[in-house]
Amino acid sequence: MKIREYYLDDVSKIELIYQQAFRGFPWFENLSIKEVSHRWKIQSSKLGFRCLVAEIDGQVVGATW
């Protein structure tokens, strides 16, 4: 596994992972991609924002910010 800074090209993958993560325990939120994108824009525009992604075999499998 490789941990690295995110690239702009990663955003759509990160948003899908976010959407899937919030479907289950403890949130059980059925978020649309539009809502996920809105949340991402809010978070990523904050001063000092930093996002790391986990990558396996060149595929983004997780993210944290």
The pLDDT of residue 16:
97
The pLDDT value given to residue 58: 95
In the block, residue with structure tokens 């759509």: 12
* Structural domain count, the chain: 1
The answer to whether the CB of 52 falls within 8 A of the CB of 14 is no
The two structure tokens encoding residue 21: 């993560």
Question: What is the distance between the alpha carbons of residues 61 and 33, in angstroms, rounded to a whole number?
Answer: 17
d(CA 65, CA 59): 18
Helical residues (DSSP H) of the chain, grouped into ranges: 11-21, 33-44
CA distance 49 to 65: 7
Domain span at residue 40 reads: 2-64
CATH number of the CATH domain containing 56: 3.40.630.30
Question: For residue range 27-63, what is the model confidence (pLDDT) as tens digits?
Answer: 999 999 999 999 999 999 999 999 999 999 999 999 9
